[in-house]
């Protein structure tokens, strides 16, 4: 599968006259709790030739492709990535932490990650993660029944929000470090659920343990209330503009 992904990325690069600077796995494989039927969620950051950006016309800033089999792939222009970073959008933060990297230009990931640290907003990140968790919780039926996929769409974002609140830093992408925030006995339970997920279809329905459900409800309410007291940080574009100009200059490919 990796070779197919690399071939697809090379074909996209040639067809659209772009240069891919970074490509990784997102989704459950990147989060390190895949199911046997999980898609390959391939994401990439690209740059176009320098002159492309010197226009008064609106230009596209992403590339989307129809899902093919179990391959789900799309990419964002570096300008879009930087614009989202100014809003403290968590997606670039997560991509750069992915444990599965398909392609990367030397030093690009490290430089962009260093830039991310200047655009981390606890308030924005917490609200984003709690929104995902809340949406997944809406899929629960009969008070405790939920698909194993949606359960982890509750747990990972909830723990990421907790990390942002307590650690005051960008949350890890993978589930392992996030699980350290759980009480010891719940860590064991979630580890067992990850094992179940590794062999079960994503639509497999489970009953959430009452203690785990209580933890989720209480932590959600606590983090949500605490986040309301956090300030809204203003972020400025100077560092982003400098990074943008340096990038499109460095990787100008005509």
168: pLDDT strictly greater than 80: yes
Please tell me the predicted confidence (pLDDT) of residue 201. Answer: 85
Contact 205, 147 (CB under 8 A): yes
Residues 109 and 127 in one domain: no
Please tell me the predicted confidence (pLDDT) of residue 38. Answer: 86
Closest to 31 (Cα-Cα) out of 134, 219, 177, 213: 177
Across the range 39-56, mean pLDDT stands at: 94
Cα–Cα distances (Å) from 69 to 23, 31, 147, in that order, read 19, 21, 22
pLDDT confidence bin for 59, thresholds 50/70/90: confident
254: pLDDT strictly greater than 90: no
For residue 102, the domain's CATH number is: 3.30.460
Share of the chain above pLDDT 70, in %: 100
141 vs 144: CA distance, rounded Å:
6
Residues 78 and 181 in one domain: no
Residues 140 and 102 in one domain: no
What confidence tens digit (pLDDT) does each residue in 96-126 have? 999 999 999 999 999 999 999 999 999 999 9
Residue where the block lists tokens 């907003």: 121
Please tell me the predicted confidence (pLDDT) of residue 139. Answer: 82
Structure tokens at 76: 């964002």
Task: Give the distance between the most distant pair of CA atoms in the chain.
Answer: 60
Please tell me the predicted confidence (pLDDT) of residue 73. Answer: 95
pTM to 2 decimal places: 0.94
Please tell me the predicted confidence (pLDDT) of residue 67. Answer: 86
Q: How many domains does the chain divide into?
A: 2
96 vs 157: CA distance, rounded Å:
17
Residue 153: count other Cβ atoms within 10 Å of its Cβ. Answer: 20
| Average pLDDT in the chain | 94
Residues 69 and 105 in one domain: yes
Residues 100 and 145 in one domain: no
Across the range 188-211, mean pLDDT stands at: 91
Please tell me the predicted confidence (pLDDT) of residue 57. Answer: 86
Residues 94 and 150 in one domain: no
What confidence tens digit (pLDDT) does each residue in 200-217 have? 888 899 999 999 999 999
Q: Which residues pair with 75 in a beta bridge?
A: 44, 63
178: pLDDT strictly greater than 90: yes
Residues 115 and 126 in one domain: no
Lowest mean pLDDT among 58-62, 82-86, 100-104, 121-125: 58-62
For residue 84, what are the domain limits? 2-120+236-250
Residues 107 and 193 in one domain: no
Cα–Cα distances (Å) from 140 to 17, 37, 172, 212, in that order, read 45, 21, 26, 14
Residues 116 and 149 in one domain: no
Residues 13 and 114 in one domain: yes
Closest to 158 (Cα-Cα) out of 118, 208, 87, 111: 208
């Amino acid at each position: 599968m990796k070779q197919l992904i690399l071939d697809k990325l090379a074909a996209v690069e040639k067809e659209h006259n772009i240069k891919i600077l970074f490509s990784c796995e997102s989704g459950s494989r990147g989060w390190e709790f895949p199911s046997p039927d999980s898609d390959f969620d391939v994401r990439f950051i690209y740059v176009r030739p320098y002159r492309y950006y010197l226009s008064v016309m609106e230009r596209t800033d992403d590339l989307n492709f129809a899902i093919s089999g179990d391959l789900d792939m799309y990419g964002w222009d570096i300008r879009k990535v930087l614009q989202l970073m100014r809003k403290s959008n968590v997606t670039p933060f997560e991509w750069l932490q992915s444990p599965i990297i398909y392609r990367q230009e030397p030093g690009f990931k490290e430089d962009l990650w260093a830039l991310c640290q200047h655009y981390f907003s606890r308030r924005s990140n917490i609200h984003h993660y709690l929104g995902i968790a809340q949406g997944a919780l809406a899929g629960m039926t009969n008070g405790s029944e939920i698909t194993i996929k949606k359960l982890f769409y509750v747990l990972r974002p909830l723990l990421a929000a907790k990390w942002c609140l307590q650690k005051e830093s960008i949350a890890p992408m993978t589930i392992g470090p996030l699980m350290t925030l759980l009480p010891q006995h719940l860590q064991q339970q979630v580890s067992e659920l990850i094992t179940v997920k590794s062999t079960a279809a994503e639509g497999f329905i489970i009953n959430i343990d009452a203690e785990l459900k209580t933890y989720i409800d209480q932590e959600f309410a606590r983090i949500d209330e605490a986040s309301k007291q956090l300030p809204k940080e203003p972020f400025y574009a100077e560092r982003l503009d400098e990074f943008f100009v340096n990038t499109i200059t460095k990787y100008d490919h005509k």
